[in-house]
Amino acid sequence: SDPANGGDARIVATLADDGGRTDRTEIWFGGDAASAASDFIVRRMQFPEGARPSVAQIEQSLTGKYGAPHAAGDDDQGRIIAWVFDPAGAPAPQAADVCVQNIGDGLLQQPGDAARDTCGLVAVADIATAGGGVSDLTLRVRDVAGWFENQDRHLKVQQAGGTAQSAATPGVQPVKF
């Protein structure tokens, strides 16, 4: 969609290796032309049969990068692990339910109002299992507070009848995958 008219912009990169593993990364940028900050990153990895890591290996790798998870649980698809921070950047495991449910998925689903004052940076790993290993790993990282700031700024610009001016927006530290 067109960022100049309130839509989101994104960059997509897909890599595949000879063994059949694919690794797709999407970086989503906020809904105004002045925003150079990314507010949503999705990384999707698919592992072919015969080369699937165990859930324990994936959990160990994620915990090594992001620290102990703030919430975890199993569903009929596999395992979900989450790291949740409040808008000030403090760990907020007590807000995991609201923040995980409101992380969204790019343009298809945006954060809900329940997350507005509760959630800051939220990272969710969806680990799908098949054949005794991990078939798919989707890691969604969203700056929920930044997304709301961007939407509020865009609304103010629309109400003023002007165009967005470049402004320093409190950012999130880069996330290493």
Q: Judge whether 141 and 45 are in contact, CB under 8 Å.
A: no
- The pair phi, psi for residue 156, each rounded to 5°, is -60, -40
Q: What is the mean pLDDT of residues 140-153?
A: 76
pLDDT per position as a tens digit, 17-70: 777 788 888 887 765 545 566 778 889 999 998 889 999 999 999 999 888 898
Burial class (CB in 10 A: 0-12, 13-18, 19+), 51: exposed
Average pLDDT in the chain: 76
Stronger pLDDT, 132 or 134, i.e. the higher one: 134
- H helical segments located in the chain: 55-66, 96-101, 144-160
Q: What Cα–Cα distance (Å) separates residue 31 from each residue in 9, 59, 88, 106, 110?
A: 7, 33, 22, 11, 12
The verdict on pTM exceeding 0.85 is no
Task: For residue 158, name the pLDDT band (cuts at 50, 70, 90).
Answer: low
Cα–Cα distance between 4 and 168 in angstroms, integer? 18
Closest CA to 125 of 174, 59, 77, 172: 59
Share of the chain above pLDDT 70, in %: 68
